Structure 1
Amino acid sequence: MARWEPNAAERLAHAALELFAERGYENTTVIDIAQRAGLGKSTFFRHFQDKREVLFGGGTMNALLAEAIAAAPATAGPLEAVAHALDAAGGEVFTPARREFIARRQAVIAANPELQEREALKNLALIASMADALKRRGVTDLTARVAAELGALASTIAFERWSRTAAEDDFSETARQALDEVRASTAFC
């Protein structure tokens, strides 16, 4: 691939996944990833802080969820605003076209404790982003935190289901169903 081609970040992510699967995470360098993508090391560092970040997309998901919560209808309650955010994730991140990439990414993360730790930290940051976005909508601190935590739980459940289903299944629908189930289960607590 020529260096001038667009989508450098996406190319780097795909190259990293290929190399992590072939050689293992520990045996792959930033230079290896950049070369596989047909780019230079400096291009890699323009997009990612280190080789872990190539799998985690910086703060892209945090921003997507916060923007979607902010854009939810003014009449939406906290969980409905979170559902709006999960819809946005389904429309932009968890798409049928990205299903294979996401499944491969999860396999690499599952095989590496360092990446599992980074994934856990990322999930905490997502919860904080959603809670902050809800607070900006005027939701009280505790309610915002609970709604964000429930949204994260629903997202995890939805992701597990979505990743095991047919390619055409819609993440947004799966996430809404999971959120409804989580909400219903709180009645028994």
Structure 2
Amino acid sequence: MARWQPNTPQRLALAALTLFAERGYDATTVNDIAERAGLTKSTFFRHCNDKREVLFLGRDVMASRLADAVRATSAATPPADVLAAVLDAVAAFFPPERRATAATRATVVASHAELRERELLKGAELAGVIENAAREQGRGETAARFLAALGLLAFDITYHRWIADPEERGYRDHAAETLAELAEQASALLPGADRPVSGAPH
């Protein structure tokens, strides 16, 4: 078998996801994943340290895109516009044809503690990327942390709404709605705000 295969990370991730869904996470081995992907065990370990990591291949690329999206704005860019740029950058990873696979992945991750833990860790890493890029722009600590926290929240809400949408609307449609809701919630924090918050008692 050739040492290099095209689309190896994608093949490993899809093989692992399929096996986790079929057999369960605990019953699936690294050998199983490599064999299902048509690759060797050594190839698996060139891309992943363990089977927990295989569903998170590509997060480094996503992190780089997020950092670039923040850096493409200026320190004077309003937070709402920075968040919009961040979600627009992420949207490229979630085309319509990936919705079913993404939904299966979310179910598999939610079903196992080790994967949930890794998901939280990877989310924190993405938030850290946003925060560091905002700091590099010259934004203060509070502003940078605010962008990171809201960026991660917006990503999480948008992603889960997108995979569960029975109307199969696009990721960007859900991103726009999420940002509008977050802006409404944030505006309610302002002194003297008199607009009722959605879902709050009047």
Q: What TM-score comes out, normalization by structure 2 length?
A: 0.85
2:108 aligned partner: 108
Native 8 Å contact 2:103 2:164 kept in 1 = no
2:64 aligned partner: 63
Q: How many residues align?
A: 188
Native 8 Å contact 1:78 1:139 kept in 2 = no
Native 8 Å contact 2:135 2:141 kept in 1 = yes
Deviations along 1:6-31, one digit per CA (max 9) or x if unpaired, are 10110110100111111111111111
Q: Give the gaps of 5 or more residues in structure 2.
A: 190-202
Secondary structure of the structure 2 residue equivalent to 1:94: coil
1:40 aligned partner: 40
Further displaced range: 54-63 or 141-150: 54-63
Deviations along 1:153-184, one digit per CA (max 9) or x if unpaired, are 12211112111225752212311221121122
Q: Give the gaps of 5 or more residues in structure 1.
A: none
1:120 aligned partner: 120
Q: Distance in 2 between matches of 1:169 and 1:72?
A: 27
- Offset at 1:80? 1.4
2:171 aligned partner: 171
1:107–1:3 distance in 2 versus 1, CA, 3 Å: farther
Identity in percent: 46
Q: What TM-score comes out, normalization by structure 1 length?
A: 0.90
Larger Rg: 2
Q: Distance in 1 between matches of 2:73 and 2:174?
A: 19
Native 8 Å contact 1:65 1:89 kept in 2 = yes
Deviations along 1:44-79, one digit per CA (max 9) or x if unpaired, are 111122111111125232222112212236753333
